[in-house]
Amino acid sequence: METQISLVSWFSEHLLLDIEEFRMYWSFEYNKEKYISWGSPRIDPWKTYSTNIKERYDIKVYSGDVIKPNESVIWAMQGSTDLGMGDTIWLCNFLRDIYRIKARRRCNFKIVSGDWVHKFYSHFLPKSFEMVKEYITEDEFMSIEHKLPSMYYWHDIKTGDNSDRSWLDNRSIIERLYAWSGMEYDGLSDWGEFTDEELLYPSDSFWTNLGLKKKDRYIYFQWHSSGHSKNLPPKTNIKILKHLVKNYGYKVYVIGRLRSLDILNEIDGVINLSGKTEGNAEALFTLAFNSEFIVCPDSAGVHLGEAYKIPSVCIMGTLPPSYICSKYKIPSFMYGNGACPYRPCGIVHQLPKQTKCPPGTGDYCKVFDDIDLNLLDRCIEKSFDNRLRYRSSPNEDFYKALNPPISLYYHGLKNKNIVIKEEKKEENFCLLLTATIDPKGCIITSRKDPKVREQDYIDALKKWLSFTSLPIVFCENSMYDLSRIKNETKEYSDRIEFIQFDGNKSADKMGKGIGELKIILNAIISSDFIKKSKNIVKVTGRSFVNNFDRIISSFEEDTFVQYSVDNNINNYKTIQTIIFIFKKPFVKYLMNRRSYLDDSKLQFFEKMFLKCINDAEKDGHKCVSIDYADYEGYSGGDNTPYKIFINQLSEDSHERS
């Protein structure tokens, strides 16, 4: 076994704790009485006057046993403000889950710590928890049945080095806590459900004491973290602040411990709260909860964002997000790891300037020397999207309950035997994947190799089969051998309908647009799946759409066509046809405009499609744009990865041509 112990990985391998390999508790004597603590005593008078301090390898740490009614559970942590906000949120979440999952809320729960921890944790823990003095006698401690792990601890037995290097194996601290205790960690709870309401909805005096207006709408911006390796340089922070004020229309509240950020007072729209919340950690919860969204380094803000489901962006340096924010569902991350050839850092809170960082590093990681504001905007958009999709499911028509797919009725009045009658039900959606494996000299096409394209189709098709349950029509127009694709997907044969025809003969002169239209028309004519479906989801067959569930759930019953708009770097709006959803009568409009198609004259499918949209709208049909389509795959035209298209446009956004 390596000398640097990773408790969870070792415990999961051996199931039992080897008490000679790690320490969790210490014992010491004070005034001739024996005490137990987590860590050696570090608070006076115990720190100064204690004797016989030693590590205790004989104390069994709780490992997942059932906690019976009236049994006692103890959790000990020396009371200090040194513990990070993320650690605090993780620990409170862990303690609540032990109480409700392992004990069914029927145990005696003791929190052994100092006044600060007692006061702060009481905002988030059940009122039945007993807050016990800083250190507990050994006799009382040993009489308690279940002794919880207090926090992580790494100890190199040979060197005595106790530095936290947990992130080197990319395993989250909170995951370790849960694994030690026989529970699966599945993300943070919604903290709004159990936080004291006085903290979330404070009196007017809270705002006036900080010089704030209660009705302000603001962005919560955290200036710095607890460690040098995680902090952004002042010039980068100021660049972000000016961008947020200019582009989002909210005030920006700057939170931090530093008291000398006077330069912030010169930026219109920025409220400088640095140093004003010192010693009042509760204020951070209040300010975060009432904000519009959060921007922060790797620190408290991102954990508050996840706990209260607030859109948030965390700007990470070299630590992987999966370590610090395991299974977080709301925040998005700007991660600078790829830009640093010197990663990983050493100890989490320090820059290893003497051994690894390049000359001139100074007090801040070089990864943060500048920031891509366009990427920041995309991350903000992504977090709002995460919040929208949190615990969401596709909308369902309320009145479907009146027409269930299986109905029961009585067969005869005498015996009243119940007979099951299956009614035919039209599928709401069918997925149509359009395919041209061998482009055969198609003009304006760079991704030409049939083998490469075949693999693209296989990769995408497997994802569609794995991540959706829709019936799939795979329609191919070059007559390329489909045996490999069919073999790779044979376990899903009941969900895939393969259609093939020779329909790409004009590609070398007119391009791929006319071929795409022929595929759609041929599939509608030939497919049994499509005949049974109300709506067709057409997707370019070599691509996958990561947020497909959201797109489907946003499609309303009265929508005729739903399509995607690309708002590109020059703010020129163009139709995208990688994915669109349509009702079958829309084919009439495609047919009417088919003579327009000719790529050699720059008369592309996308332009024709827009004309069809205009025609349908003139006839009174509802056509709407997809607000966010996250594509994955390669463009056949220029052989580059698809971009993420974000539509932030108004209802009248798409160009008319």
Any idea where the domains of the chain sit in the sequence? Answer: 7-180, 204-389, 428-646
pLDDT of residue 251: 95
β-pairing, 417-422 vs 406-411, is antiparallel
CA distance 196 to 115: 18
Which is it for the CA torsion 238, 242, 248, 249, positive or negative? Answer: positive
CA distance 132 to 499: 72
CB atoms within 10 A of CB 113: 24
Residues 141, 74 contacting (CB under 8 angstroms):
yes
pLDDT of residue 397: 58
pLDDT of residue 162: 54
Per-residue pLDDT at 407 exceeds 50: no
Residues 371, 235 contacting (CB under 8 angstroms):
no
Burial class of residue 565, CB neighbours in 10 A (0-12, 13-18, 19+): buried
Question: What pLDDT band is residue 456 in, cutting at 50, 70 and 90?
Answer: very high
Q: 152-158, long-range: CB within 8 Å, 24+ apart, which pairs?
A: 152/7, 152/176, 152/177, 153/7, 153/22, 153/23, 153/24, 154/4, 154/5, 154/6, 154/7, 155/5, 155/22, 155/23, 156/3, 156/4, 156/5, 157/3, 157/5, 157/21, 158/3
Per-residue pLDDT at 233 exceeds 80: yes
CA distance 337 to 321: 10
The three-point CA angle 198-204-206 to 5° equals 70
Q: Could you read off the pLDDT of 83-136 as tens digits, one per residue?
A: 677 888 888 999 999 999 999 999 999 998 888 888 889 999 999 999 988 788
CA separation, residue 526 to residues 205, 390, 416, 486 (Å): 70, 39, 43, 19
- Maximum Cα interatomic distance, the chain, rounded to a whole number of Å: 98
Between 105 and 571, whose confidence is greater? 105
pLDDT of residue 566: 64
CA distance 616 to 373: 38
Give the percent of the chain with pLDDT over 70: 78
- Topology of domain 428-646 in CATH is Spore Coat Polysaccharide Biosynthesis Protein SpsA; Chain A (3.90.550)
pLDDT of residue 418: 36
Q: Tell whether omega for the bond before 358 is within 30 degrees of 0, i.e. cis.
A: no
Lowest mean pLDDT among 101-110, 306-315, 539-548: 539-548
Q: Assign 3-state DSSP to the chain and report helix, strand, coil percentages, each to 5.
A: 35, 20, 45
What type of residue is 322?
S
CA distance 292 to 271: 15
Task: For the chain, state the CA radius of gyration.
Answer: 31
Burial class of residue 632, CB neighbours in 10 A (0-12, 13-18, 19+): middle
Between 262 and 544, whose confidence is greater? 544
Q: Could you read off the pLDDT of 377-397 as tens digits, one per residue?
A: 999 999 999 898 888 766 665
Per-residue pLDDT at 27 exceeds 60: yes
Q: At which residue do the structure tokens 């004259």 appear?
A: 601
CA 538 to the chain's CA centroid: 27
Lowest mean pLDDT among 396-405, 527-536, 554-563, 635-644: 396-405
Mean pLDDT of the region 156-162: 56
CA distance 512 to 520: 13
Mean pLDDT of the region 505-533: 89
What type of residue is 135?
Y
Q: Mean pLDDT in the chain? A: 80
Q: Could you read off the pLDDT of 175-230 as tens digits, one per residue?
A: 878 888 889 888 899 999 999 999 999 999 999 999 999 999 999 999 888 777 78
Question: For 645, phi and psi rounded to 5 degrees?
Answer: -100, 125
pLDDT of residue 82: 54
CA distance 98 to 122: 16
Lowest mean pLDDT among 338-352, 471-485, 504-518, 544-558: 338-352
DSSP 8-state class, residue 291: S
Residues 312, 305 contacting (CB under 8 angstroms):
yes
CA distance 230 to 299: 8
CA distance 328 to 496: 34
Kindly state the tokens that stand for 155.
């100890």
β-pairing, 496-500 vs 472-476, is parallel
Question: What pLDDT band is residue 351 in, cutting at 50, 70 and 90?
Answer: low
CA distance 432 to 455: 18
What type of residue is 398?
F
Cβ-Cβ contacts under 8 Å for 23 (sequence gap 6 or more):
55, 56, 57, 153, 155
pLDDT of residue 331: 93
User: What DSSP line would sit under 442-510, residue for residue?
Assistant: -TT-----HHHHHHHHHHHHHHHHHH--S-EEEEESB----HHHHHHTGGGTTTEEEEE-B--TTHHHH
Between 32 and 657, whose confidence is greater? 32
Per-residue pLDDT at 349 exceeds 50: yes
Q: Specify the CATH number of the domain 204-389.
A: 3.40.50.2000
Per-residue pLDDT at 81 exceeds 50: no
Question: What pLDDT band is residue 424 in, cutting at 50, 70 and 90?
Answer: very low
Q: Could you read off the pLDDT of 573-632 as tens digits, one per residue?
A: 567 889 999 999 999 999 999 889 888 888 889 899 999 999 999 999 999 987 567 778
Kindly state the tokens that stand for 33.
């009485």
Lowest mean pLDDT among 209-218, 327-336, 416-425: 416-425
Instruction: Give the helix ranges, DSSP H, for 266-299.
Output: 281-289
User: What DSSP line would sit under 330-375, residue for residue?
Assistant: S-EEEE-GGG-TT-S-SSTTS--TTTTSPTT-TTS-GGGS---HHH
